[in-house]
Structure formats: structure tokens, C-alpha cells
Amino acid sequence: MTESDVDIIIKNATIFNNGDPAIVESLAIHEGKVVARGAAADCLRSEHVIDGTGKWLMPGLFDIHTHYDLELEVAPELPESTRHGTTTVVIANCSLGLAFGNQRDGTNDPIVSCYARVENIPKQVLKQCADKVNWSTPDEYLSHLDQLNLGPNVIPLLPHSMLRIDAMGFEASITRDPTDSELQSMTSTLRSALDIGYSGFSTDALPFHYLAAQPHVEKTIPTQFAKYRELKALTQVVRESGGVWQATPPKDSILGTLKTFLLTSGRLHGKPLKTTVVAAMDFAHNKRLSKMAVLLVRLLNSSFVKGRFYMQALGAPFRTWADGAITPIAEEIPELRRLNETDLEDRLARQRILDDPLYRAEFKAMWLRGKSGISLARLKRLMKAEDYALDRNLSSMTIERCPVSSWIGLTFQQVMDRVEAYRAGRLSDIQDHEREVLDSDFSAVYDEADLVLQLLRSFDTDLTWFITTANNDPKRVRELIMDPQLLPGFNDSGAHLTNMAFYDVNLRSLKLAALGG
């Protein structure tokens, strides 16, 4: 090899060394490939030499689950990902994306309605992004992406909710099955998109992904109205093209989950379908779920089924934040979902709900269910086999922002303890403002359901709190991300900016991996 054949030489970088102590050496790159390292690289020359002294050298990281579609329109460099070592991102996950433009029909604004609650992005931000959209087809969208000053590589999926809207119209997409001609239109559009560069197709079946605009706030997003016949026809197109299907499970139906994901089977469908699914996590409320996820992966990838099925695993504690009742994990509980149906800015609407005696009774019944007495709900709670991710444990809910400054950093349980101590005259370390709030707002709080209701009534979104609902055990998290049939992912970068969005999880996963040598 001659000196002029080497495109790049990186000198004196710190390099991972297969579990042994890191080494400092040089690396030569030519035509996108590493061609020499160490002494062999030091002997070469290049017009492009990078000093790596004091820096780690590693391949770019791959973020397989993002919702950067809208952030790309505001900050195409995606600095929050690139600064954490991510050089490739997959967009348009979970059936939502911009491949068909804003899809406005004069009445409905699909980008706003679909994204606001599912991805917890403010409506005003969504509307401003939708206003700037000047394309309307998947081909035009790829051309648009090519014109952006992108930081990382961007890999788009074709989003099913938007594909449904394109073929059926917004109202029809959330009310009925497609006609034969509409389904044929969807399969044709999907096939064309895969031919021009889309890497796959995304759907969603999580039963708490709801629309955000009236009069549809009690309806889920369009993809969830698709029945098996539609999914089978569309995934067959993906199978034939060699693309990837990204999906989420129909959480409340074991049989539905199995039937849906058997679409990956090469034995049943002639050729395996590459499938990646959210998410294998170690949930605190139900310890069996991560084991069931791994078992499902083993079954679908077995020689009998012949699938290519990979669950995504999050390499970090699943900590989510809430502003009052506004948080993704509240959407699966009907009583909390009602508060999430209101606009973020509409405090009065939430106040009216919280002041309704019937609602308060329903909320209390929900919050206290399974916490005492003898019942199936009580047994499921004791066995850590409950249905909801939010475990309703005051000790696991921690206040981060609150008008009562002395409560910041306390758990809800510690606040409850202070309320009871004040009533009994045993609270000595109390400030005037806390005393005023306890006298005016919390005098009728006698149990934990009363406390949660009153916190929401008194402070609404001025109260920020967090809870870790999964992945508390680093050992179990490492087992999941290191499983060869699971994929590190589900970072949700670009969405849930005030709730979760794990921009640095790729680096966290590397750290966990290194712990095992």
C-alpha cells in the first residue's frame, strides 16, 4: 500500500481492547474501512491526520429507536445525540413520521393530533413544524432530508399511521377497515417507498397511545385500527423487500401478541421477516414481563418457527418525569388518562375534572385498588403481577419541583408523613409557607389517594415528580442488553423531552457491557 492510498490516520487515540485494558495507538482508514492499526498505521502517511491524544476512538453508535422526525426540522445536526457518540439514527418509529407531509385536510392536523400525547411534544411546537412542511410524498421527503445539514446519518421507516391517513383520509383511518382498493394503495405505496430507500415499516399497538385533538381524544392513533389482515398484507411487502418491521406489542392480549409476531416466521410465511419490537425491560410492577419477553424471542427465533425477531432493551433505569398528571405512563390508567386528554395549558379543564366528586371517588378507588383486603387485585399486587407500569407506590414517587420548597427532594410518602405529623401536632421543622398550604389545602387528606388528588389539585403542572418503573437492577439490565437476540435500543430520543428521552443510553450500555469484561 502506498502512502497516498490512506485517506485518514488518527494518531495516539485510546482504543477499547476486547475487555483488556485500553491501549493507545494509531489507526489508518481507507475508503471507509480500517486498514491498519498500531505500528502498521504509524508507518503510513496521509494528508488528513487527526490527533486523538487523550480521546477515545470507537465506531459511531447506532440509535435504533428515535422520534427525531420533528427535531430534524429545527436542529438537523441533532447535537444531543452526536455529542454522545451516536452517528446513525432511525426515525419514524411507532407508526408516526413526516413521510407524507403535514396531511392537513382543513379540519384535522394529523401531526399535532398524533404526536402531542404519544410523544409528549407541545402542540404549539408541532403546529409550527407542520406549518413549514412543503412536501407531500415519501419521495419528496427523502429529497427534503438530503437538503438538510444533517449531523448523524438518518434512516427513515415508513410510518403506518400516516400511510393509513394517506390512503383512507384521517377520519376513516380511525373509524374503519380499509377497502380492498385502499389496502392495495397502501401496499403499493409501501413497496415504492422501500424501493427508493426507506429501510422498513413501523406500526404500533400499545393501547395507551391516544390522539390529542378534539373530538378524537378518546381514540387511539390510526395504526391501532388495523386488523390482522391489513398487517399481514403490509408486512408481506416488507418481507419481500428484505426490510425491517418495527412494532410494539398489543400489551393486553397474550394471544394477540403471539399471533401478530408470528408474522416474523419463515416457516409460516416462506421467508423470515426482520422484526424489532419495543421493549424488553425489567418492570418493577411485574417481574415476569422481561422473562416472558426473552422467552418469546427464543420461541420466535427457534428452528421450528424460523423468525428473525429482536426485542429492544433499554440500557438504563426507566425513569420518567411528570408535570402534575402529564406523563406517558399515566395514559394506560383511565382515571389519569382523563387528565391527559386536556391540553397541557388548560389547567382549568383539569381543575374541573379534579373537583368533580364522582371523578374523585373513581380516582380513589383506582389508587387504593389491591392495597388492602382480600381480592384478585390484592393478590396480583403482592405477587408483583399488576397490569400498569405506574405501581402507585408513594415511596417510589419523588418530587423534583414544587411551590412548597421544603417538599423538593421528598417522596410522596414523606409528604404524606408530614401531613399526618402536622395533624397530630408532631411536626416541628415547618416553615410558614408549608403551614399555610397544609392548613388551606391538605386538612382533608386522610389517605394516600387523598394526598395524590390534592397534590394535583393544588399544584397541577407546577408539581414535577419522577418515578423509576423499570430497570432498577443493573445486573438484570446488563443481562438483557447483552443477550444476542435482543437489541440495545428504545432510547426515544427526540420525544418525551420533559418525560424520558434517553439520549445517552448508548454510552450507558457500553458502560454496563464493560462491567462484565
Query: Where in the chain are the domains?
Result: 3-58, 63-317+471-515, 320-468
Q: Which three cell numbers stand for residue 407?
A: 417538599
- Cβ contact 9:49 at 8 Å: yes
Peptide bond into 215 cis (omega under 30): yes
Q: Which three cell numbers stand for residue 134?
A: 412543503
Q: How far apart are CA 496 and CA 512, in angstroms?
A: 24
Angle at 194 between CA 191 and CA 197, to 5 degrees: 150
Q: What is the pLDDT at residue 497?
A: 66
- How large is the C-alpha radius of gyration of the chain? 25
Which is nearest to 95 in space by CA: 202, 220, 249?
202
Q: How far apart are CA 410 and CA 400, in angstroms?
A: 8
Phi-psi map region of 324: left, alpha, beta (phi>0 left; psi -120 to 50 alpha)? left
**Kind and range of the H or E run holding 51:** strand 49-51
Q: How far apart are CA 160 and CA 149, in angstroms?
A: 27
Residues sharing a CB contact under 8 Å with residue 68, sequence separation 6 or more, in sequence order = 78, 81, 89, 91, 154, 493, 494
Secondary structure of residue 462 in the 3-state scheme: helix
Each residue of 444-455: b (16+ CB within 10 Å) or e? Answer: ebeebbbbbbbb
Each residue of 226-242: b (16+ CB within 10 Å) or e? Answer: beeebbebbbbbbbebe
Q: How far apart are CA 299 and CA 254, in angstroms?
A: 14
Q: What is the pLDDT at residue 295?
A: 95
Looking at the DSSP bridge assignments, the partners of residue 34 are 29
Peptide bond into 279 cis (omega under 30): yes
Residues sharing a CB contact under 8 Å with residue 3, sequence separation 6 or more, in sequence order = 44, 45, 46
E-assigned strand segments in 369-463 = 398-401
- Cβ contact 461:347 at 8 Å: yes
Residue where the block lists cell 444476542: 484
Q: How far apart are CA 160 and CA 247, in angstroms?
A: 10
Using CA atoms, how far residue 263 sits from 43, 232, 234, in Å, is 53, 7, 11
Q: What is the pLDDT at residue 13?
A: 95
Amino acid identity of residue 490, one-letter, is: F
Phi, psi of 281 (to 5 degrees): -135, 155
Q: How far apart are CA 290 and CA 283, in angstroms?
A: 7
Question: How many other C-beta atoms are found inside a 10 Å radius of the C-beta of residue 356?
Answer: 13
Residues sharing a CB contact under 8 Å with residue 295, sequence separation 6 or more, in sequence order = none
Question: How many other C-beta atoms are found inside a 10 Å radius of the C-beta of residue 193?
Answer: 26
> Which letter does DSSP use for residue 403 in this model?
S
Q: How far apart are CA 388 and CA 286, in angstroms?
A: 9
Residues sharing a CB contact under 8 Å with residue 177, sequence separation 6 or more, in sequence order = 225, 227, 229, 230
| Annotation: CATH topology of 63-317+471-515 | TIM Barrel (3.20.20)
The CATH number assigned to the domain with range 3-58 reads: 2.30.40.10
Q: Which three cell numbers stand for residue 382?
A: 403482592
**Kind and range of the H or E run holding 466:** strand 464-470
pTM of the shown model: 0.91
Secondary structure of residue 389 in the 3-state scheme: coil
Task: Note the residue count of the chain.
Answer: 517
Q: Which three cell numbers stand for residue 309?
A: 425477531
Q: Which three cell numbers stand for residue 180?
A: 380492498
How does pLDDT run along the chain (517 residues), one tens digit per residue?
Answer: 455 679 999 999 999 877 678 899 999 999 989 999 999 999 998 999 999 999 989 888 999 999 999 999 999 999 999 998 899 999 999 999 999 999 999 999 999 999 999 988 889 989 999 999 999 999 999 999 999 999 999 999 999 999 999 999 999 999 999 999 999 999 999 999 999 999 999 999 988 899 999 999 999 999 999 999 999 999 999 999 999 999 998 877 788 899 999 999 999 999 999 999 998 999 988 888 899 999 999 999 999 999 999 999 999 999 999 999 999 889 999 999 999 999 988 999 999 999 999 999 999 999 999 999 999 999 999 998 888 889 899 999 999 999 999 999 999 999 999 999 999 999 999 999 999 999 999 999 999 999 999 999 999 999 999 999 999 999 999 999 999 999 998 888 888 766 676 888 898 998 888 787 5
Secondary structure of residue 341 in the 3-state scheme: coil
